[in-house]
């Protein structure tokens, strides 16, 4: 098992969507990952889902609910 962690890319602004998709693409294509687990924001999940579908891989893209106070 390998973790990409948060040091693989430093997203800025709207580029974070492209970075999320590119990181998953790299993990699936280059690193030959079998599954993807992660992300805590809906934008990342939406960007990553088509990549997982393209590679026909399981993606557990969790999105946490923010609590309002």
pLDDT, tens digit only, all 69 positions of the chain:
555 554 455 555 668 888 889 999 999 999 999 988 877 788 888 899 999 999 999 988 877 766 665
Could you tell me the residue ranges of all domains in the chain? Answer: 15-61
pLDDT digits (tens, 9 = 90+) for 33-47: 998 887 778 888 889
CA pair distance 63, 69, nearest whole angstrom: 19
- With beta carbons less than 8 A apart as the criterion, state whether 2 and 31 touch: yes
Contact between residue 61 and residue 49 where contact means Cβ atoms under 8 Å apart: yes
| Helix, strand, coil fractions of the chain, as percent rounded to 5 | 40, 10, 50
Q: Which pTM value belongs to this model?
A: 0.69
């Amino acid at each position: 098992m390998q973790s990409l962690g948060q040091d693989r890319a430093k997203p800025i602004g709207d580029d974070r969507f492209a970075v999320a998709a590119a990181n998953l693409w790299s993990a699936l294509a280059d690193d030959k990952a079998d599954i993807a687990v992660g992300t805590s924001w809906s934008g990342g999940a939406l960007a990553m889902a088509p990549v997982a579908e393209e590679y026909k891989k399981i993606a557990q893209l969790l999105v946490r609910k923010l609590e309002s106070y």
